[in-house]
Each structure stands twice: as C-alpha cells, then as structure tokens.
A = this chain, B = another copy of it.
Amino acid sequence: MALTDTEIRKAKAKNSADRMSDGGALYLSRPGWYDGRTKPWPSPAPWKHAGNGSCDVEIARREVRQPSRRAKICTSDEGLKDMSETAVMAEQRTHEQKLDLLAEVAVRVGLGLQPGQELVMTASLDSLALARRITEQAYRAGASLVTTLYSDDEAALMRYRFAADESFDHAAKWLYDGMGAAFKSGAARLAIAGGNPTLLSNEDAGKVGRANRAVSQAYRPALELITRHEINWTIVASATPAWAAAMFPGEPEDVAVAKLWEAIFQTTRINADDPVAAWKTHDAELHRRAARLNEKRYAALQYRGPGTDFRLGLADDHLWLGGGTTAGNGLYCIPNMPTEEVFTTPHKGRADGTVTATKPLSHQGTMIEGIHVRFEKGRIVEARASRGQEVLQRLIDTDEGARRLGEVALVPHSSPIAASGLLFLNTLFDENAASHIALGQAYTSCLRDGDKLTPEQLAAKGANDSLIHVDWMIGSGKLDIDGITATEVAEPLMRQGEWV
C-alpha cells in the first residue's frame, strides 16, 4: 500500500502520511492497517444488505452492466430505502443517485459509523457536493455531530503569493490538536480526497517542503491515532475541476469532471448492482489473499517482465494485509476506497536485479517517466528516468532509507483501476492499478507485533526507515511473479498480471 505523492511531508510518521493544505486545510491520507483483531465482516454488521454473497471480485466488477433491482443499499431499520419496487437499474442511476450511494457506502461500509458517534470530515471546497451527501448519510446513520473542515486551494496559493517567508514554518497546531482530541473522545474520521494534484507545483519547493514539515509535526499526535487504527476512518474521493483537468487535459471542464466522476463510481463499485454486496465480496477476497500468503510465508518474490528481472526478499515475520480492519474502538472500517491491494514489508537488505516502472510517477507535481532502477543487496545502485531524472535522483538522495524499499504490494492487472486505463495522479487510486513497490518507510503493521517493536528490532527484521514513502508501479499484464519458499522452491503467484 502507499501514501500520497506528498508523503515526503510525513517526517517519519509510521504507517501513513497526510496531506494538509495550508489555510487550515486538511486532507488525511491513507495508510494500511492491521491490528490482529481484523475480521472481514463482524456481526452485527454496522450496515445491512440483502445482496447475494456468492459473486467474486470479477463478478462484482461486471455487475456494473447487469440490471439491478435495487438502487439504494439498505441502511438501517429506520432508514431502510429498498428501492426494489421501482426496479431502478444500476446503469440507469442518475449522477445524483450515484453520489448518494457513494456517500452511503463511505459512511456505512468505509467508515462503519456508529449511532451516537461524532464525525470529523475534511474536504476541499471543490468537494462540497459529496461532503453534503456524506453529512446527510452520517446523520441518517446516527452521527451525533458532523464537523467538516474545508480547505481552499485559492487560500493556499495566496499564502505562497503574499505571505512572509517566516510563514512557511508555521502550522495550525491548535487545529490538529483539536482533531486529536476529537479522535480521543470517540470521533470517526473521513477524508475526501480530490485535491488539485499540481496545486503547488509552481511554488517554491523549499517553502512547500517547510510548510509540509510544519504540518507533519503539528499533526503527528492526532495522525498517530489514525495510523494505529485506534478509531474507524476512511478516505473517499470526489471529482474536482482541477483534478479532472490534470487527468483529462484536452477536455472541457464539464466533460472532464463527468469522466472523473464516472471513473470514481466505477472503481469504488458504486456502479455495481448492489454496492454493499460488492464491497463485502471484495473485502473478503482481499482478506483471503492475504491469509493465503501469510500461510505460505514466502522468503522472497521473483518478478519477471519487460525490463524487470528482480528478486525481492520479504522481512522476517512479515504480515500480508489487505481490506478492512477492526479499529481500536471496536468498529470495522475500510480505510481506503478504492482498495485492491494486498501488501507487506520487504527486507531492506534483500532486493537484487532490475525493475522498470510501468506507469509514470507523479511526485509533488512533477511527472517522472520511464523509471529504470538496479538494486544490489536492497540498495538502488543505478537509477534512470527518461523524464524527471533530477527529481528521481533528489528523491532517492533524501536519506539512506530512500534508496531501499519499504513496501511491496500485489494488485491484479484486472483491477477496476487498471481496467479504467486512467492515470489518476492520486495515490488512493493509482496504487490500486498495479502491483507496486515503495521506496522508503516501512509499515510496522506489516510485521508480526510490529507496533510493539523498538526501532532496532524493526531494523533487525529488515524494516526500512526513511523520511519518504513513494509508491512506484511495476505491475502490468506482462508481469509474472513467483513466491520463493524458504527452501528456494518457486511457486507461481501471478501470471500475465493475474493471480494464478
């Protein structure tokens, strides 16, 4: 799994990173999780559904084109909205109906919001429509109070245009501490992603870095409650004009935004006949994959594909994760929507061979393309890019850990995100498009009892340590992956990008 393309801000926050824009602007991004108590769908479920449970991921994906007898998921006894009588087809849903469904799935499946629970939401002003739908759904689900902290891209840019240099070492610590207090008093956390991926790309990189660092430091205490999964939380995305423009540069704004919305609905299973059933099936499948890999306890993975011949050792006591988790407050949540990956921690000293990226890497507003890297004993000894070489070089020079790997994730080439053929320029999506590896910081949650280990113990098991965590897509329809057992037996895991 991965962090946003702005993860350099995270200043070693374990398990996650966040992105907060400047003017009190918040948008939390996107960890992995595992707390040993995970069970796919606890009973009683925080939501109800009446769909079938037999379809697998692929069926769920194809449901999009099948007629539906239900346009709305069932919500609660009070709010039950079975629309079977009206026989609305999934493909006939209006944009407004899809927006409502996305909000409902986010609140009830992603967040698992409980009656009486407070909700703290962050969103950009461009995400107002979805934020309002989520507010409604949260109150329908019994939220005691929904507080949304809106960020404004215009205000963020004004800071770069007009503020004194000293400003950029400053963050709204009072606000982040306030969020932490909310989490401690039982609030759930929902972030709407969808910011302009190139918002600060023309600003002074030094100032951007300082501002990010200040936010990282200010937000760390609150963020740790998220990354340790002490509360239920999730991230969903809203199409915004700026993001859509970056993804579809040739299109008129309304067309681009509509295309992005459709891509979001499609990849978050909102176009499924029964989105809740689809998510249930999908989540169970991710847990099943992770469990099987954990049983196998492979020592390493072997990758073979165009430009890639690479062996990656896994950390001692590594743990594969994927899908939802039960948070410390006892509530089951799916922290990322979409999520398609199972992932674990590689051994920082055991990567050898060459790897070629299969997608461009959008890093802090710069596109790095044609990445080709050679590893020796876990360390990058050669790094080339056909475009953005300088940024790549600066990235891997951040610290010693920036040249080593902190994550390995397996995603089938048939994932809805890959199937869309789109580069979303947003890690929440792009990391779910292909198998990937990440330079930098490892997730302690991907090691057995990892959260209880000292930094020295973590290092001894092979967990990497760095200020950065940058995902990097290497999967494709031409990639084969084998699991290598402790006795050096190769077992096929993926062929032509798909699970065997």
Contact = CB atoms under 8 A, between A and B. Distances in A.
Interface of A: 22-24, 115-116, 118, 125, 128, 131-132, 135-136, 139-140, 142-150, 152, 154-155, 158-159, 161-164, 166-167, 170-175, 177-179, 181-182, 185, 187
Contacts of A159: 139, 145-146
Q: Which 7 A-B pairs have the closest CB atoms?
A: A178-B178, A24-B147, A139-B162, A174-B181, A174-B182, A139-B163, A144-B170
A145 B179 contact: no
Contacts of A149: 24, 149
Contact of A135 (B116, B147, B158, B170): B158
A13 to B, nearest CB: 20
B172 A177 contact: no
A148 B124 CA distance: 12
A197 to B, nearest CB: 22
A178 B170 CA distance: 16
Nearest to A176: B178
When all copies of this chain in the complex are counted, the total is 2
A75 to B, nearest CB: 11
A148 B156 CA distance: 11
21 contacts: A22-B145, A23-B145, A24-B145, A24-B147, A115-B164, A116-B166, A125-B128, A132-B152, A135-B154, A136-B162, A139-B158, A139-B159, A139-B161, A139-B163, A143-B163, A145-B170, A145-B171, A149-B149, A150-B150, A173-B181, A175-B178
A81 to B, nearest CB: 12
Contacts of A115: 164
A148 B24 contact: yes
Contacts of A116: 164, 166
Contacts of A172: 118, 145, 147, 182
A464 to B, nearest CB: 33
A22 B119 CA distance: 13
Given A125-B128, A177-B178, 12 more contacts: A22-B145, A116-B164, A118-B172, A132-B152, A135-B152, A136-B158, A139-B164, A144-B166, A145-B163, A147-B172, A174-B182, A178-B181
- Max chain B CB contacts within 10 Å: which of A162, A172, A182, A187? A162
A132 B144 CA distance: 31
Contacts of A167: 139, 143-145
A499 to B, nearest CB: 42
A146 B23 contact: yes
Contacts of A179: 174, 178
Contact of A152 (B148, B173, B174): B148
A47 to B, nearest CB: 16
Nearest to A171: B145
A127 to B, nearest CB: 12
Contacts of A177: 178, 181
Contacts of A144: 163-164, 166-167, 170
B174 A185 contact: yes
Contacts of A181: 173-174, 177-178
A171 B136 CA distance: 17
A436 to B, nearest CB: 35
Contact of A155 (B118, B132, B171): B132
Contacts of A150: 125, 148, 150
A164 B142 contact: yes
A340 to B, nearest CB: 32
Given A174-B185, A175-B178, A181-B174, A155 B166 contact: no
A420 B140 CA distance: 45
Nearest to A181: B174
A155 B163 CA distance: 32
Contacts of A170: 118, 144-145
A377 to B, nearest CB: 45
A135 B23 contact: yes
A107 to B, nearest CB: 12
Nearest to A139: B162
Contacts of A187: 174
Contacts of A158: 132, 135-136, 139, 146
Contact of A23 (B147, B154, B174): B147
A24 B138 CA distance: 14
A187 B172 CA distance: 10
Contacts of A146: 23-24, 155, 158-159
Contacts of A24: 145-149
A55 B142 CA distance: 59
A154 B166 contact: no
Nearest to A141: B162
A119 to B, nearest CB: 10
